Amino acid sequence: MPKIRKVLVANRGEIAIRVMRTCKELGISTVAVYSEADRSALHVRTADQAYFVGPPPSRESYLVQERILEVAKKSGADAIHPGYGFLSENASFVRACEKAGITFIGPPASAMDAMGEKTRARANMIKAGVPVVPGSTEPFATEGEARDYAQKIGFPIMLKAAGGGGGKGMRRVESLQEFESAWRSAKSEALNAFGNDAVYIEKYLEKPHHVEIQVFADQYGNTIHLNERECSAQRRHQKVVEETPSPILTPELRAKMGEVAVKAAKAVNYVGAGTVEFLVDVHRNFYFLEMNTRLQVEHPVTEWVTGLDLVALQIRAAEGEKLPLLEAPTPNGHSIEVRVYAEDPSRNFMPSPGKITYLRVPGGPNVRDDSGVFPGFTVPNFYDPMISKLSVWAPTRAEAIARAQRALSEYVVKGITTNIRYLKALLAHPEFVGGDYDTSFLTRNHDALMGVEDPRLSEVALLASAVYAYNRDQKRAKTLPSAQGSGAGTGGVSPWRQALRNRR
Amino acid sequence: MPKIRKVLVANRGEIAIRVMRTCKELGISTVAVYSEADRSALHVRTADQAYFVGPPPSRESYLVQERILEVAKKSGADAIHPGYGFLSENASFVRACEKAGITFIGPPASAMDAMGEKTRARANMIKAGVPVVPGSTEPFATEGEARDYAQKIGFPIMLKAAGGGGGKGMRRVESLQEFESAWRSAKSEALNAFGNDAVYIEKYLEKPHHVEIQVFADQYGNTIHLNERECSAQRRHQKVVEETPSPILTPELRAKMGEVAVKAAKAVNYVGAGTVEFLVDVHRNFYFLEMNTRLQVEHPVTEWVTGLDLVALQIRAAEGEKLPLLEAPTPNGHSIEVRVYAEDPSRNFMPSPGKITYLRVPGGPNVRDDSGVFPGFTVPNFYDPMISKLSVWAPTRAEAIARAQRALSEYVVKGITTNIRYLKALLAHPEFVGGDYDTSFLTRNHDALMGVEDPRLSEVALLASAVYAYNRDQKRAKTLPSAQGSGAGTGGVSPWRQALRNRR
Amino acid sequence: MRYFTKQQGQKEAVPVDLESLGNDRYRLTVNGKTFQVDALALEHGTMSMLVDGQSYSVEFEENGDEVGVLVRGQVTRVDVADERRLRLRAATAGFSVEGKQLITAPMPGKVVKVLVKVGDEVKEGQGLVVVEAMKMENELKSPKAGKVTELFAKEGTAVENNAKLVVVE
Amino acid sequence: MRYFTKQQGQKEAVPVDLESLGNDRYRLTVNGKTFQVDALALEHGTMSMLVDGQSYSVEFEENGDEVGVLVRGQVTRVDVADERRLRLRAATAGFSVEGKQLITAPMPGKVVKVLVKVGDEVKEGQGLVVVEAMKMENELKSPKAGKVTELFAKEGTAVENNAKLVVVE
């Protein structure tokens, strides 16, 4: 396959810039696409070429396959990098690229089909011998059958309504004694809620961790894993902090999970970068959750401890090169990533789009800022609220936490509200510092993570605010030179304006 | 020795901030000192405490030992980190700290004494068996003696006037045949220039490289080296770009030079971080040049390839901890540092102090910016023109060069002139890319490094400038609403001002 | 010069007495304590403040009458005014906490659902309007029990930050 | 609208014709070539310029009559003016290249040495004044052969950027 010379990056924000940086280092030209809301965005200026693709809503611009392909042709791009989100896991887009003779930097459509839909993926994984959360795929005809099944997989279990979701018809059952009454109430609740009393059973996982394995494959069937990422710090299934190595993994468990992840990827003839997500329970059993058939947001932590450039590897794999390594490198040191969101934690994490009036990013040793914004940029209203990913490296986890704290303390964003203070509280929380935090960590500790007020700092703030007000008043007095003499006679209207009025 | 709890950083600019960052990560409080010219400097705001130490000239502030020690006492600092420059290699200051009961984070005064003065250092090294540039330390009585000596050390040699410097009385002698006439003319030139015809001989080094070895020692005599840094890209003995590993070193030569550097450090009972500088000639012989008894500007490249934090190591050594490693780690990948100076290469590198009106620093994978400035800061006139050090890491040298280029292309500094474009030309120069560049590289290629104009970009600049002028004129027209109607009648005086004048 | 500083969420304003000593130096008195302060205002709403040798890098952000003050990772929202302004502000405060309440858009976004109509009785905490921004829906709730007297929000329309949505009385 | 753009170091001004098409779009003609340009001005003197799909991030820096234009690592210094300003500028150009020459401080600094006095004959390239900044001494040389007619520089004094130092005639 020929070398890629020009890449269209079918994305926006930090990930578009991330991909373009590697392209630039590889001597590959880049093409940006932008919606009406992104004309002023940084990825437009970072690229060598840039084309408009439609109105702000992504379904009218970034998700319109024909527009993207049209730009690829017009600009002479020979490959498309989809980033994450948008068209990155869209098998029909992969087929359209193929038809247009443009290299899609990602897995083949068939692998996406096999992993795209959750129940299909689950079935495929069971077939391949990959452990999934134990449970019945079909509802039960009688209570007896159900009870036998529950005993077989072992308590605690979950009863789940086949017909719906949202917590309705769900019952956690601790032991055989509780089974009968739970069964009855689950069925009646399911009937009331969904008009369907079918109920199935899944194993209840205690304090699960979200641990994912990065996999990588070339076009010749060579498939390796690149160790894990611990992503249990989640809020509403949104990852907030990620790290590697996982503090709960032993080398043995890492090897075992890595092996299973490679098995999963091979089962679908995977090519390129992918991530196999697992739940790990309190007994350190692990179960397949889903596979993300693309680059992950949190790939920088893997890059820190392996020294690899995953985007460069993706491009090389798409060019038909063989994998440059045959097994996972032993993780070197520790890396933590925190996601900086334009949101206000104190107002229920309400999004906070708007204009960034001032921005200062952290520097110094082993700090990486993957940002998609700049001072003067108005964070648009239409897309993901993540404005940057800050990641750090250090020899040990404790040092990495200290470094992340230091870096966050240097991060200043003005004009919009961000979660920086929340991230600091998160990293300081004893449960996080301890390392064994599960997926309910953030929800359980919501109040503690809101932070406590230091009265000494509040007093300093009052002093500062008085000086601020004084300076403001002095400046106003200066801009209104005559106001000092004449007093408040003009009723707050500046004499400049007054003068102008008089002239009209 | 007790743990250090509070460090006074007796320095300014990027190195003060560098040291404070590590202190913060270690949970150590920091104290800044500042001159009148540095009240608004970043290191003042980065520290937990800050004290004024005098007028702008450093000899009246940063170099006044009593002031620094007074601040240390007042603030409760138990240790002083000197950074580089200023008091960092001042043995009398080390003794004063000792007397005041304050830990000096650096080598003992005796080691500074032994290495501080060049001829004394040279004599000490000869005694220790460290190779120095071969030469006579004393002038010769007769031409015969001189010729014999020249033959002994081998041609080419340099004749140097003992009485002076500045190139006067210096003669390079290629062979025995040339010796007699060169000897005569050197002696007469020396007599004319300095009233003293004494001449001595030094071996002439062809195309020398400046290669230095980082050494580290604890208080118990454990001394190791941490590999080399190639620093041959120099202008007027000022380093501009540094890298590690050196492209000209073999593992064998590295081991040999490292061994000699350790020997040099042990000879003076060194403690802490130090650097032994060597000249390496075209035959890969190496000769002791001098030892810097402090942290070097270019230490980040060593940190990149070793994963160590040299400032943290310095603090640990000062606390009396043992070295955490017993030999040099094998260099991991490649690192390059470029120094961003406030200077104008096109005007003979004239310093360019002034106000930084806009600043955008590079981000993304494996880029480190050690900066001492911020947007809105006025780079003062009194100190070193270096405003930042940009360093990168990559698995290979070629990738590191590409990454440094990419990072430099993201660096935007407005308000003052910098050498960023010069640095890009330097990294792109075939001799640099080839790797075997000696200390005359920058001088020899001065014109090529000024860059050539791309006419296509100049045309784009003309287009852009027209739009700029148009926007400027439109904005002016808007601020002066009545001007549009009345035309140029007011002769360039804004109608606002006019209005004001009328009122007076 | 006396300033009144009211922290968000606190009822009472704390007086701070300020005397300018020139050269960015001030004598400040708060809670009966007097401080000598060296406070250098930098660009972009940054201030370097030295109080008894302690160094504070302060970031200010003005937001209406309030100024957000960021010091060592802590944000304090302060309403600071001199006596004259304090009186003025009290006079123009159209919507007091007890009387009618104006609900405004907390961010630019799109009104995706209006849950009430004029005349509806609402409970405290009841949802009034759903605004979407950045792919997330945010339900705005009534701050008090009362009656919807005005309704500006329209489903499907874009709204700016602080746009009026509903009045509950 | 016609602008005259004169690049530093070049003698002739190049005319650029600009027609605003609204919405940050322009039709620009230079050297006989016409371009459709989408040029969005951002804050801090930054501009995003799209020309036939090519994306240029442009940084401007105004310095007196000249504007420095940074595009893809290249800085071009351009003096850009409309016809009226061009004429005005020609009229007020007090120090032409041929006539008397004013030597100004190229940076803020300190005059450490004055090498000439009023009335001295100087050669082209001869040192006139030494200014120190950032621990480096910089000798300012005469741009032409001539006579020192005015001398503002005084040893030991601080000078601002662009301060008048010497006139050579």
Given A294, A316, A397, A403, which residue is catalytic? A294
Tell me how close the Cα of D91 comes to any Cα of chain B, in angstroms.
15
Nearest-CA residue of chain A relative to D52?
Answer: A49
Check whether B254 has a pLDDT greater than 60: yes
Spell out the residues 6+ positions from residue A414 whose beta carbon is closer than 8 angstroms to its own.
A356, A357, A358, A359, C44, C45, C59, C61
Q: Which chains touch A (3 or more CB pairs under 8 A)?
A: B, C, D
Which residues from A are below 8 Å from D48, CB to CB? Answer: 39-40, 44-45
Which stretch of DSSP H or E encloses residue B229? strand B223-235
pLDDT digits (tens, 9 = 90+) for D13-51: 899 999 999 999 999 999 999 999 999 999 999 999 999
Tell me if chain A has a CB within 8 Å of the CB of C4.
no
Nearest-CA residue of chain A relative to B307?
Answer: A395
What three-state secondary structure class fits A254? helix
Interface probe, candidates C44, C47, C49, C50, chain B, greatest B C-beta count within 10 A: C50
pLDDT digits (tens, 9 = 90+) for C89-101: 666 553 344 568 8
Contact C74 A464 (CB under 8 A): no
Domain range annotation of chain A = 6-105, 134-203, 209-449, 457-503
Which residues from C are below 8 Å from A347, CB to CB? Answer: 106
What's the number of CA atoms in the CB half-sphere (13 Å) around residue D93? 12
* pLDDT for C95: 38
Check whether D72 has a pLDDT greater than 70: yes
Given B254, B294, B339, B403, which residue is catalytic? B294
What is the pLDDT confidence band of residue B502, given thresholds at 50, 70 and 90? very low
Q: What is the mean pLDDT of residues C118-135?
A: 88
Interface probe, candidates A25, A340, A390, A405, chain B, greatest B C-beta count within 10 A: A25
> Cα–Cα distances in Å, from D50 out to A60, D36, D56?
22, 9, 6
B7 neighbors B300 (Cβ within 8 angstroms): no
* pLDDT for A199: 87
CATH of A6-105, one of 3.40.50.720, 3.20.20.370, 3.40.50.20, 3.90.950.20: 3.40.50.20
Mean pLDDT of all residues in chain C?
A: 88
Q: DSSP E strands: which ranges in C1-53?
A: 2-7, 14-22, 25-30, 33-41, 46-51
* pLDDT for C92: 56
Task: For residue B79, give the nearest of B296, B372, B316 by alpha carbon.
Answer: B316
Report the percentage of chain B scoring pLDDT > 90. 79
* pLDDT for B364: 98
Cα(A282)–Cα(A289) distance, rounded to whole angstroms?
16
Mean pLDDT of all residues in chain B?
A: 91
CATH code for B134-203?
A: 3.30.1490.20
> Cα–Cα distances in Å, from D99 out to D102, D117, D125, D145?
10, 20, 17, 11
Spell out the residues 6+ positions from residue B489 whose beta carbon is closer than 8 angstroms to its own.
none
Residue of D14, D44, D70 lying closest to B462 (CB–CB): D14
* pLDDT for A217: 98
Q: What is the mean pLDDT of residues C21-34?
A: 96
Strand B386-394 and strand B367-371: the pairing is antiparallel
Check whether C47 has a pLDDT greater than 80: yes
ipTM given for this complex: 0.87
Task: For residue D69, give the nearest of B87, B463, B244 by alpha carbon.
Answer: B463
A93 against C9, higher pLDDT: A93
SS3 content of chain D, % helix, strand, coil (to 5): 10, 60, 35
What is the pLDDT confidence band of residue B481, given thresholds at 50, 70 and 90? low
Cα(A235)–Cα(A327) distance, rounded to whole angstroms?
33
Check whether D130 has a pLDDT greater than 60: yes
- Reported for A342-348, long-range contacts at CB under 8 A and 24+ positions apart, including other chains, are A342/A379, A342/A385, A342/A386, A342/A387, A342/A416, A342/A417, A342/A418, A342/C134, A343/A385, A343/A417, A343/A418, A343/A419, A344/A417, A344/A419, A345/A419, A345/A421, A345/A422, A345/A449, A345/A450, A346/A450, A347/C106, A348/C138
**Cβ atoms within 10 Å, residue A434:** 9
* pLDDT for B504: 36
The CA-to-CA distance between both ends of chain B, in Å, stands at 73
Contact A50 D55 (CB under 8 A): yes
Tell me if chain B has a CB within 8 Å of the CB of D146.
no
* pLDDT for B167: 60
Cα(C167)–Cα(C142) distance, rounded to whole angstroms?
9
Q: What is the mean pLDDT of residues B86-112?
A: 97
Chains C and B touch (3+ CB pairs under 8 A): yes
Beta bridge partners of D140: D129
Task: For residue A390, give the nearest of A375, A405, A374, A380 by alpha carbon.
Answer: A405
pLDDT digits (tens, 9 = 90+) for B413-470: 999 999 999 999 999 999 999 999 999 999 999 999 998 899 999 999 999 999 999 9
**pLDDT per position in chain A (504 positions), as tens?**
689 999 999 999 999 999 999 999 999 999 999 999 999 999 999 999 999 999 999 999 999 999 999 999 999 999 999 999 999 999 999 999 999 999 999 999 999 999 987 678 888 999 999 999 888 877 888 999 999 999 998 899 988 887 665 566 778 899 999 999 999 988 888 888 778 888 888 888 989 999 999 999 999 999 999 999 999 999 988 999 999 999 999 999 999 999 999 999 999 999 999 999 999 999 999 999 899 999 999 999 999 999 999 999 999 999 999 999 999 899 999 999 999 999 999 888 999 999 999 999 999 999 999 999 999 999 998 999 999 999 999 999 999 999 999 999 999 999 999 999 999 999 999 999 999 999 999 999 999 999 889 999 999 999 999 999 999 999 888 876 554 444 333 334 443 333 433 333
Cα(A395)–Cα(B504) distance, rounded to whole angstroms?
70
Beta bridge partners of C127: C141
* pLDDT for B1: 65
Cα(A15)–Cα(A23) distance, rounded to whole angstroms?
12
> Cα–Cα distances in Å, from B409 out to A41, B412, C106?
18, 8, 38
pLDDT digits (tens, 9 = 90+) for B45-93: 999 999 999 999 999 999 999 999 999 999 999 999 999 999 999 999 9
Tell me how close the Cα of D3 comes to any Cα of chain B, in angstroms.
6
Domain A209-449 has CATH 3.30.470.20: yes
Check whether B494 has a pLDDT greater than 80: no
**Alpha-carbon torsion, ordered A44, A47, A51, A55, to 10 deg:** -30
Task: For residue A17, give the nearest of A39, A41, A46 by alpha carbon.
Answer: A46
pLDDT digits (tens, 9 = 90+) for B309-337: 999 999 999 999 999 999 989 999 999 99
Residue of D30, D73, D81 lying closest to B462 (CB–CB): D30
B10 neighbors B89 (Cβ within 8 angstroms): no
Residue of B460, B469, B488 lying closest to D80 (CB–CB): B469
Task: Count Cβ–Cβ pairs < 8 Å, chain B vs chain D.
Answer: 146
**Cβ atoms within 10 Å, residue B91:** 18
Which residues from C are below 8 Å from B49, CB to CB? Answer: 53-55
Mean pLDDT of all residues in chain D?
A: 88
Interface probe, candidates B418, B470, B471, chain D, greatest D C-beta count within 10 A: B470
- Both tokens of A148, joined, read 């036998």
Strand B49-54 and strand B29-35: the pairing is parallel
B406 neighbors B393 (Cβ within 8 angstroms): no
Q: Which residues of C25-51 are buried (b: 16+ CB within 10 A; e: fewer)?
A: ebebbbeeeebebbbbbbebbbbbbbb
Task: For residue B272, give the nearest of B209, B321, B335, B344 by alpha carbon.
Answer: B321
Tell me if chain C has a CB within 8 Å of the CB of A422.
no
Chains A and D touch (3+ CB pairs under 8 A): yes
Residue of A74, A75, A376 lying closest to D43 (CB–CB): A376
Tell me if chain C has a CB within 8 Å of the CB of A477.
no
Chains D and C touch (3+ CB pairs under 8 A): no
Alpha-helical regions (H) of chain C: 83-92
Tell me if chain A has a CB within 8 Å of the CB of C108.
yes
* pLDDT for B499: 39
Residue of A45, A49, A376 lying closest to D57 (CB–CB): A45
Catalytic, B294? Answer: yes
* pLDDT for B488: 38
Which positions 323-342 of A are in contact with C (Cβ < 8 Å)? Answer: 342
Contact A403 B496 (CB under 8 A): no
- Both tokens of C132, joined, read 């979407």
Task: For residue A142, give the nearest of A180, A176, A172, A191 by alpha carbon.
Answer: A180
